[in-house]
């Protein structure tokens, strides 16, 4: 439904963008592993009637909408692929392909590289799977090297059983969507690379499976993160924060203007906000305001959540610098507080997309969110 403020309004870039993204959404059809699915109907033409004075803005909106729609489709296709197809290696290969198509610098690190970097937390999650972990770093350089980049970090758990703290069987198939954070930041990279703004963007994706193998990490194990802080793993199903914390430490080397991590992190965020708003956490008011503005402009809503220091009390451990979970109450907040412990060297925000990254039921499938929000946020940083 069009927002009521548009009725009777003159066309502008926002209308044009919304028309382009809505058309792409209506035509989307997943076929990668379902060849029997009908082919999506092609869109021959999209016509917007406007005055000459409006034409430039409308054209810009269509161009932006087309790029965002392509990024959303890219993210949806990755999210919808089953986990035996979309492995960490496949994600890395797709990032490399994106790099070739858009002249991006893409690096992929393997287990030995991660060991050298000291990513003990990330490696702990991956050790129960026969699928090798991958750490993807992709860069779009649209400005001078001296300009600090925006860094996006996406959680890439390509399948999450919960590990030794195994999940219930019901709806576990949907845990293929636990890499939608990774899919969204790669989709955003695709959109940005097409639009070519004057800024620098770095996308980081730690990706692996979380499996209950005989080598898997156990509740009570203590691991050392890349930052040197130790973590008592009280629940192996709180694995997303364990791979993100090492990626957030790695992000320091880019001396970023800001870092935003995106993750299907907590069921608690779904309980708090349902499936409409993405959970937004940040100790930086200006950064939070920028992300909220982007969410409104992109029609990809988010809601800011608290980060009071009192919530960190629940992460205390007798055997390590911190535990990886707190009490049940405010679980989305304590998860964000955990990540915050690894972000003291730059401006940081966290988007919990557990409620918005995919739909269940008859319309089951990845949504591609928050590619629109992230793209608007990144574009707003261009100088």
Active site residues: 167, 241
Q: In whole angstroms, what is the distance from residue 259 CA to residue 377 CA?
A: 12
- Residue 43 buriedness (CB in 10 A; 0-12 / 13-18 / 19+): exposed
Give φ, ψ of 210 to 5 degrees.
-115, 100
Q: In whole angstroms, what is the distance from residue 142 CA to residue 148 CA?
A: 11
Q: How many CB atoms lie within 10 A of CB 22?
A: 15
Q: How many CB atoms lie within 10 A of CB 290?
A: 20
Q: How many CB atoms lie within 10 A of CB 312?
A: 17
Q: Residues 213, 205: contact at Cβ < 8 Å? A: no
Q: In whole angstroms, what is the distance from residue 354 CA to residue 273 CA?
A: 10
Residue 108, beta-bridge partner list? 136
Outline where 306-370 has alpha helix (H): 331-340
Mutual angle of helices 52-80 and 180-195, in 10-degree steps: 150
Q: How many CB atoms lie within 10 A of CB 283?
A: 16
Determine how β-strand 258-263 pairs with β-strand 348-352.
Answer: parallel
Q: In whole angstroms, what is the distance from residue 78 CA to residue 66 CA?
A: 19
């Amino acid at each position: 439904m069009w927002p009521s403020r548009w009725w009777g309004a003159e066309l502008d870039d926002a209308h044009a963008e919304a028309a382009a993204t809505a058309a792409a959404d209506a035509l989307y059809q997943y076929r990668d592993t379902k060849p029997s699915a009908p082919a999506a109907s092609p869109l021959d033409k999209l016509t917007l009637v406007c005055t000459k004075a409006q034409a430039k803005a409308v054209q810009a909106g269509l161009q932006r909408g087309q790029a965002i729609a392509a990024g959303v489709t890219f993210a949806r296709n990755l999210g919808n692929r089953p986990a035996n197809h979309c492995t960490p290696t496949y994600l890395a290969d797709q990032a490399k392909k994106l790099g070739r198509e858009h002249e991006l610098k893409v690096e992929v690190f393997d287990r030995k590289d991660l060991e050298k970097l000291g990513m003990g937390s990330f490696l702990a999650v991956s050790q129960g799977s026969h699928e090798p972990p991958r750490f993807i770093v992709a860069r779009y350089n649209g400005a001078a090297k001296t300009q600090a980049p925006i860094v996006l970090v996406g959680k890439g758990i390509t399948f999450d059983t919960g590990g030794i703290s195994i999940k219930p069987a019901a709806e576990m198939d949907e845990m293929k969507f636990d890499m939608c954070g990774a899919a969204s930041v790669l989709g955003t990279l695709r959109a940005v690379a097409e639009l070519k703004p004057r800024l620098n963007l770095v996308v980081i994706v730690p990706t692996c499976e979380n499996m209950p193998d005989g080598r898997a990490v156990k509740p009570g194990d203590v691991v050392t993160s890349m930052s040197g802080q130790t973590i008592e793993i009280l629940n192996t199903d709180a694995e997303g924060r364990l791979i993100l914390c090492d990626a957030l430490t790695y992000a320091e080397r880019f001396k970023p203007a800001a870092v935003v991590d995106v993750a299907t992190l907590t069921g608690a965020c779904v309980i708090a906000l349902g499936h409409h708003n993405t959970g937004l956490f940040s100790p930086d008011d200006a950064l939070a305001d920028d992300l909220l503005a982007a969410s409104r402009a992109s029609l990809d809503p988010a809601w800011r959540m608290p980060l009071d220091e009192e919530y960190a009390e629940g992460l205390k451990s007798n055997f390590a610098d911190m535990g990886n979970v707190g009490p049940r109450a405010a679980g989305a907040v304590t998860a964000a507080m955990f990540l915050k412990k690894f972000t003291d060297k730059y401006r940081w925000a966290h988007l919990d997309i557990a409620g918005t990254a995919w739909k269940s039921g008859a319309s089951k499938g990845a949504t591609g969110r928050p590619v629109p929000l992230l793209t608007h946020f990144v574009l707003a940083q261009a100088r």
